[in-house]
Structure 1
């Protein structure tokens, strides 16, 4: 999307207001439960939002429909957390460094097409904004989200296309196992391997140089007790643009892969992994320091760089349109087990790429052998991740987790909203 300078400035302020509103509403819910054992709903919080709009001009500048949609999103996050069959965890605060976004309901916007490549969306209090028409809408517009990723503005439309999930996939007998790795992103049981690098060596060096420079500026600023300079803001903007390019390439790859797998296969099986636990830090504590901390940090970066969790989400989203069933199987010993004779031993895997069975002598690519084991394994009884299984009893109680008390500024805002 290509807003004018004043339009971009106003929407940037709205993005920060939406983040503040989400965090304050979350603190209000936690405060109400801890102090009064009361559960607030979206209806009550919308009434408090109306009162806040009377007291704060910067809150009143945000379109009322957008503020109400932010509260509905928080309410949906709580419902997902309370649902024992949903894998979502407890709602958390939005960071200042997160992607800015402003939601709009469908009745608050109007979309008009100019030609084959360009369109105009009319937003409340902003007016018409040109955007690149990247694909046909294919239905009636129900909502829109305007976001800024550090590089450019984007607008995404939620469309009611009248399409339902097919009861069965066209290829009923086609099943594939997918192994996610750190050297090769995706390996399939049919022998195919898909991989893509999202940065060049030159871009990695440039990003490392920018981060080092930003760290020196931040250290100097803290020593002097000064405010952030314009030069430091420019460096941060360059870092944000470089990281946004990497994210866009990763998102393009996982959606490309999910689209092809869901169209070609009736069942796609993947390992059930607790990625949050797998990428946890190994630093430990002062009394019990961790071991191989730098090696574990490198492994964590490699896992997150390949987009394992994003690929899982893309599969689930695409499967709703194709009728593909996503199977989740236990991940234990899939890399050590021989797909031909079933002999399991850690020495079977000679290296990251070579698998050689110590019993029957079968040799294959290690990732492809693991993908075949994933394809042939029985699906797990529970569709939830390990983290969700651990939190299931806590979810069923509908009680928020114990968290810190709100700070003084937020308590003041909460008391005014109460």
Structure 2
């Protein structure tokens, strides 16, 4: 599997080189397909990758350029060996020959590898349950720090969901309170964002024994790395220690993602309209280090806040809510973020000094005096902005895409 993944990545890079070096008037899918077939005959290690998987790489690359021309994503680029996720496509479902051998395990046939056992975690249309409208059309092998995984592509008929008649909901994403809801039914994963000394807990999704093991592994890696000379390759023992650290990190990420899936599914089933803030997270997690001429202030505190924001993965939560609300007949809207945490949700005024305490909002307006949790107050303001007609995103939950000016290449016709 590793050899196939490396061959697919290298094939992508060579297709990218061929595409960029070819004049625009000569770029075409047929020309690249002929070049790919000739390369498979002349380059020996291309034979490791099945022919269908090689064609899937070509189709994915061409589709990446089409997405770029439509303005949805940027241009395809080079895939590095260290930073690219290893994956292989199996585009034809008939080659899989899936069979369930146990309540928790199944067998699948992978081209040029053979029969492989996999963990049965989802219901699959196999055997008598498979038909023309409900069948497996392919799969994708993906490798992370915990090993190889397989994701099946299923073609099925889904009924059009009826409009969700649930109540409206405003959500404010935070660090201490992950998801504050406007109706007071806050969603908390029970993992503290800060330690007793006030620093950010970067390993909050690990239990105490796993945290202790992680500390031992990091110390062991630092000790073994001290014996390595400059520009010398890592030893096998050091690589094994790094792999163990990556496995613990991946386990924590999987737990966080699982909590997000369960929470967003529960919200999409309960509420008909979900309103969130339009946040630019990349700007929020910028470093406060500054420059040599103008050094920043509270750099360590800002770095800890950035790590806490990155751990909560607010963008992934919004992405899950986007497609899950549409699946259950609901809608997702976004409203402007400025002053949602500074405005009083009771009187509507912005009074200086109302957020002296980060966890509590106390309105300094003499005629109001409203006091509540700061995140809950922000969630109420978010919902109020939507009801006042300040939504930024259409009801489908997708941002408006505009094509950049320019002439499309001849192959796009």
Deviation (angstroms), 1:358: 1.3
Cα deviation digits, residues 81-109 of structure 1 (max 9, x gap): 3334x4x4444444424432212113442
Q: In the aligned structure 2, how far is the partner of 1:41 from the partner of 1:375? A: 49
2:38 corresponds in structure 1 to 51
Closer/same/farther in 2, CA of residues 336 and 156 from structure 1, 3 Å limit: same
2:377 corresponds in structure 1 to 369
Deviation (angstroms), 1:286: 5.0
Q: In the aligned structure 2, how far is the partner of 1:167 from the partner of 1:82? A: 34
2:174 corresponds in structure 1 to 181
The match for 2:186 among 187, 193, 213 is 193
1:231 corresponds in structure 2 to 237
CA contact (8 A) 1:104 1:143 kept: yes
Q: In the aligned structure 1, how far is the partner of 2:287 from the partner of 2:160? A: 40
Alignment size in residue pairs: 377
Where in structure 2 are there 5+ consecutive unaligned residues?
126-133, 192-204
1:102 corresponds in structure 2 to 88
SS at structure 1 position matched to 2:172 = strand
2:201 corresponds in structure 1 to none
Q: In the aligned structure 2, how far is the partner of 1:298 from the partner of 1:159? A: 42
Closer/same/farther in 2, CA of residues 339 and 24 from structure 1, 3 Å limit: farther
2:200 corresponds in structure 1 to none
CA contact (8 A) 2:3 2:48 kept: no
Q: In the aligned structure 1, how far is the partner of 2:144 from the partner of 2:391? A: 37
CA contact (8 A) 2:98 2:108 kept: yes
Q: Which has the greater radius of gyration?
A: 2
Q: In the aligned structure 1, how far is the partner of 2:17 from the partner of 2:288? A: 30
2:255 corresponds in structure 1 to 249
Q: In the aligned structure 2, how far is the partner of 1:277 from the partner of 1:37? A: 36
CA contact (8 A) 2:4 2:49 kept: yes
The match for 1:397 among 398, 402, 406 is 406
Q: TM-score, normalised by structure 2?
A: 0.81
RMSD value, Cα: 2.9
Q: TM-score, normalised by structure 1?
A: 0.80
Closer/same/farther in 2, CA of residues 293 and 124 from structure 1, 3 Å limit: same
Alignment of 1:21 onto 2:11:
yes
Closer/same/farther in 2, CA of residues 134 and 232 from structure 1, 3 Å limit: same
CA contact (8 A) 2:333 2:392 kept: no
Q: Decide which structure has greater helix share.
A: 1
1:410 corresponds in structure 2 to none
Q: In the aligned structure 1, how far is the partner of 2:45 from the partner of 2:79? A: 19
Cα deviation digits, residues 313-349 of structure 1 (max 9, x gap): 2122323421221111111111111111111245222
CA contact (8 A) 1:112 1:120 kept: yes
CA contact (8 A) 1:284 1:290 kept: yes
Deviation (angstroms), 1:303: 0.9
CA contact (8 A) 2:88 2:142 kept: yes
